[in-house]
Structure 1
Amino acid sequence: MVIKVQDDNLTSLTACAVVDLLERGDVTPLDCLDALEARAAAVDGTVNALPILCFERAREHAGRLMQRPLGKRGRLAGLPVPIKDLTEVAGVRTTYGSPIFADYVPETSDILVETIEAEGGLIYAKSNTPEFGAGGNTFNEVFGATLNPWNTELSAAGSSGGAAVALATGTAWVAQGSDLGGSLRNPASFCGVVGLRPSPGRVASSPGAKIDHLLGVNGPMGRTVEDTALLLDAMTGESPADPLSLPRTESFLSWARSGWRPARVAFSADLGITPVDPEVASICRAAASRFTDIGVIVEEAHPDLSEAHDTFQVLRAMSFAVSYAGLLESHRSKMKPEVSWNIEQGLKYSMADVVRAENQRAALFRRMNSFFDSYDLLLCPATIVAAYPAGERYVRECAGHTFSNYIEWLAIAYAVSLTAAPALSLPCGFTRDGRPVGLQIVGRTRTEGRVLAGARALEEILELRGTTPIDPRSPDARTLSS
């Protein structure tokens, strides 16, 4: 007998709990879609997380999925999943946050979408992103800004800002995002949810102009560590169409539930490369120190990442030039200035600049890898500030330091990206005025299981799981529910 669960109760459950209900037949995939559609109608107009909806497509997929017996519907069993508006979904408008592609509807889906759907995921929406994913604030000329539900005057960060806000407001149980310079971790930190940047190759996706691109990866987001691991399991797997993709070899949800604990972890407030807001640093240090409650040794240390700024600026700009130089030539007037600047920087760099950056990146990788001979995990802030005003395009200053461009403030995240290490943002506390703060948990490359298990252990200690979903809060009405 199917047990009807009220929509508001259903959207407040964890993804793992909903999948359990789906696998038992206590709710149907259609029930889940109905619940999300009602929730989105109630709250998304305030925050603008999911500007493109495709519920009818999702219901058609649900009908086909429900023809299979229970237990044969994949790891997600009919759980709905929103896709970031940088990733193509067949028959669904995909804008990349750019006026250039405002009306583009692809005929085929990205490998990643096909993988999720093969595991029983139902694609029902596209989540908002800045143009081409550029920048740590989710706004664009097609759909406007996505607002932080903890205070709707604040930024949701980016570039997976729509995904994070959907999770925080209960219009998603899990969400797909992508991360080059922190685009999964930054919005997770600002919105009080979990975001995991996996190792390159862990999640197969359709290659772009640069088929061996190691900096940008796709990954999962969730309200809890277990939910995030659940979606990672559904996203992983080898594909011959992605030359970097890795075979599926283990269950990351099982890892998250394994009870594994690190023996020794390192904490760094700034990785030696960036200013950090003192309150954010203090919150993260206090959270990291709680590992001692379960007998873990916590020491202050970090690898040498001193070349990270120069390396990332060159390699990111080169990537933008490879991907978008043709569009700059034909559509400059439709591009936001930060994107144009990044493409032009890439075209200006010389081969000597690229050689230097690649050599530096190799050195950064080796140092990070050696660092994990001494420590099981590295902990640091996921972002250097808590959420800032949505009307500011990016963070221009922190702790007395003025940044030279729109991405330099993201260094604490992009330095880790350069090393191919998996990294997770875990909610770890709130500022005095109620803004969430995320702790970044980093592991040796291809050790997502340990990162998830360590994060799950700290999540239990900090007791912040269940803080979301929330209704969007205006500055006058917000209250802290931690």
Structure 2
Amino acid sequence: MTSDQSICDLTATTLARAVAKSELSSRDAVEAHLARIAHSDVQLAAFVTVDAEGARRAAQICDAAPAPIGPLHGVPVAIKDLTDTAGLATTYGSVLFRDHVPAEDDLVVARLRRAGAIILGKTNTPEFGFGAVCINKLCGPTRNPFDPALTSGGSSGGSAVAVAAGMVPLAHGTDFGGSVRTPASFCDVASIRPTPGRIPSPRRPLGWDMLATHGFLARDVDDLELALSVCGGGDANDPLSVGVGSDDRLLARRPRIAVTPDFGVAPVARDVRARFSAACDALAGVADVAPSSPDCGGAIETFRTLRAAHIANSYGELLRARLAELTPTVIWNIEAGAKLSAEDYLNAERRRTAIYRSFRELFTRTDFLVAPAASVFPWPNEISDVTAIDGAALETPIDYLAVTFIVSLVGFPVLTLPMRREGNELPFGIQIIAPPGCESRLFAFGRTLEHELGFSHRRPKLP
């Protein structure tokens, strides 16, 4: 562990252990990752802001501490630029907030700091997180480290690339309709979208909104579990977090897995279906696998309605006051919800309830539900939206996310793992879904897939 190269190859768990044992200083860890950022990010554009001096000050505090500050003592991490960081610019990917410096950390950031993590910077995202390509008027496109001509995915593409390229071992993300899962699939890393409320959002204006969650991206399951362990836990100001229970019961038998390429309704490319079929064949070596899906009829229309209503409520005033400064993608997203009625919204909630109950019924017969983590493979950065799959036109620019947003709709936790690849195959990930509160079971099964099937990260060949 003496070279910058080898330090940047360490997982967060291994790095934290080495720093805690004084085998490596926090300053050395920070400098190695800053050097990797300086070397690689000129091409990849994963970061909007790098806080080198702030990271060095935090490392000095860690190294001077008489004992480890917490489980992430001295570990460099990155925060998606949709999430507030005290004293560090938070742009939300928009020129409207180019000079915005929050006075307080979001709770997830505060918990990371209390655990000893060192914030290296803020990772790129489309404006307000709306967009299939990780680009905005400030930064980007964030380029895929396996082929810089291709997209990293949105909207946590900056975090996925930072982890895949060794700029940080662990990065924060947010996920509304697939925003940690799609970039994880495209960039060959692992991700967790936990049960809504597992990581509280006490300042969220709509306290019972379960569509969006915090999450993490890393190169292995242990790091995801570590991150969730320090950031999870209830907060009285987040009503979702108060009701989140934990189910730590691990399976004492061979798992039962239901597999679906599309939930019966999602558009999914033929080449993705082929790779997913190969993944299912591999899974049969460690579990009992059977094709099955919840009844997701109407799920696409339901998510469109709920998403549009939430976005119009959150950003409608910006459309009225700052229209000329917004990107076309943001404008489309806000306008989509402008004409919805209360009846439209409540009918969507009624259908969501039925889909949730269908998921619950399926899990009386299976332990995990597995699906592709993306409906397509990464495409060129110059193409801003996915408008068709296999020549079939999509009705809206978000429909390519149906294979992930259906899970967001019902709020079940999802672990994404990269599938084993051959030769020059593009990265491809699978979603492993469990009932709410069963993250421990997900992590345990994920480790089995890493160790026995090789479903794990493979480093890109950086220039």
Calculate the TM-score normalised by the size of structure 2: 0.95
Pair 1:320-2:316 in alignment: no
2:413, 2:435 within 8 Å by CA — same for their partners in 1?
Answer: yes
2:418, 2:429 within 8 Å by CA — same for their partners in 1?
Answer: yes
CA drift at 1:288? 2.4
Identity of aligned residues (%): 36
Superimposed CA distance per residue, residues 145-182 of structure 1 (whole angstroms, 9 cap, x where no aligned partner): 10101101100001000000001111010110000000
Measure, in 1, the Cα distance between the counterparts of 2:32 and 2:253.
37
- Structure 2 counterpart of 1:416: 407
- Structure 2 counterpart of 1:476: none
- Aligned partner (choices 376, 386, 396) of residue 387 of structure 2: 396
- Structure 2 counterpart of 1:436: 427
The one-letter amino acid paired with 1:219 is G
- Structure 2 counterpart of 1:263: 255
Measure, in 2, the Cα distance between the counterparts of 1:139 and 1:120.
31
Measure, in 2, the Cα distance between the counterparts of 1:241 and 1:57.
30
CA drift at 1:263? 2.1
**Which moved further from structure 2: 122-131 or 209-218?**
209-218
- Structure 1 counterpart of 2:157: 161
Superimposed CA distance per residue, residues 125-159 of structure 1 (whole angstroms, 9 cap, x where no aligned partner): 10000011112321111113101011011000010
1:260, 1:450 within 8 Å by CA — same for their partners in 2?
Answer: no
Pair 1:238-2:240 in alignment: no
1:190, 1:386 within 8 Å by CA — same for their partners in 2?
Answer: yes
Measure, in 2, the Cα distance between the counterparts of 1:343 and 1:387.
26
Superimposed CA distance per residue, residues 384-440 of structure 1 (whole angstroms, 9 cap, x where no aligned partner): 111111111121111232112211110000001111101122101448753101011
- Structure 1 counterpart of 2:374: 383
The one-letter amino acid paired with 2:270 is P
1:196, 1:425 within 8 Å by CA — same for their partners in 2?
Answer: yes
- Structure 1 counterpart of 2:45: 48
Consecutive unaligned residues of structure 1, counting only runs of 5 or more, are 473-482
Corresponding residue SS for 1:418: helix
- Aligned partner (choices 70, 92, 101) of residue 105 of structure 1: 101
The one-letter amino acid paired with 1:328 is L
- Structure 2 counterpart of 1:34: 31
- Structure 1 counterpart of 2:225: 229
The one-letter amino acid paired with 2:51 is C
- Aligned partner (choices 207, 211, 228) of residue 211 of structure 1: 207
Superimposed CA distance per residue, residues 25-81 of structure 1 (whole angstroms, 9 cap, x where no aligned partner): 1112111110111111111111000120112112222333334333x4111112111
CA drift at 1:261? 6.3
Measure, in 2, the Cα distance between the counterparts of 1:260 and 1:42.
47
Measure, in 2, the Cα distance between the counterparts of 1:115 and 1:318.
31
The one-letter amino acid paired with 2:443 is L
Pair 1:276-2:268 in alignment: yes
Measure, in 1, the Cα distance between the counterparts of 2:21 and 2:89.
34
The one-letter amino acid paired with 1:215 is L
Consecutive unaligned residues of structure 2, counting only runs of 5 or more, are none
Q: 1:417 to 1:431 in 2, by over 3 A?
A: farther
Measure, in 1, the Cα distance between the counterparts of 2:460 and 2:15.
15
CA drift at 1:99? 1.3
- Aligned partner (choices 178, 198, 216) of residue 182 of structure 1: 178
2:417, 2:455 within 8 Å by CA — same for their partners in 1?
Answer: no
Corresponding residue SS for 2:324: helix
Q: RMSD of aligned C-alpha atoms?
A: 2.0
Corresponding residue SS for 2:53: helix
Corresponding residue SS for 1:379: strand
1:425, 1:439 within 8 Å by CA — same for their partners in 2?
Answer: yes
- Structure 1 counterpart of 2:296: 305
The one-letter amino acid paired with 1:415 is I
Superimposed CA distance per residue, residues 449-471 of structure 1 (whole angstroms, 9 cap, x where no aligned partner): 11222222112233243512541
Q: 1:278 to 1:429 in 2, by over 3 A?
A: farther
The one-letter amino acid paired with 2:328 is P
CA drift at 1:277? 1.8
- Structure 1 counterpart of 2:355: 364
Counting only pairs closer than 5 Å after superposition, residues 57-206 of structure 1 correspond to structure 2 as 57-70=54-67, 72-206=68-202
- Structure 2 counterpart of 1:348: 339
Q: 1:84 to 1:230 in 2, by over 3 A?
A: same
Measure, in 2, the Cα distance between the counterparts of 1:411 and 1:249.
27
1:128, 1:138 within 8 Å by CA — same for their partners in 2?
Answer: yes
Measure, in 2, the Cα distance between the counterparts of 1:441 and 1:188.
13
**Which moved further from structure 2: 395-404 or 85-94?**
395-404
CA drift at 1:20? 1.4
Corresponding residue SS for 1:86: coil
Pair 1:445-2:442 in alignment: no
- Structure 1 counterpart of 2:456: 465
Q: 1:410 to 1:183 in 2, by over 3 A?
A: same
1:262, 1:454 within 8 Å by CA — same for their partners in 2?
Answer: no
The one-letter amino acid paired with 2:207 is I
Measure, in 1, the Cα distance between the counterparts of 2:405 and 2:295.
14
Q: 1:355 to 1:466 in 2, by over 3 A?
A: closer
Pair 1:19-2:16 in alignment: yes
Q: 1:268 to 1:120 in 2, by over 3 A?
A: same
2:86, 2:103 within 8 Å by CA — same for their partners in 1?
Answer: yes
The one-letter amino acid paired with 2:223 is D
The one-letter amino acid paired with 1:264 is R
2:194, 2:215 within 8 Å by CA — same for their partners in 1?
Answer: yes
Q: 1:281 to 1:246 in 2, by over 3 A?
A: farther
CA drift at 1:241? 3.4
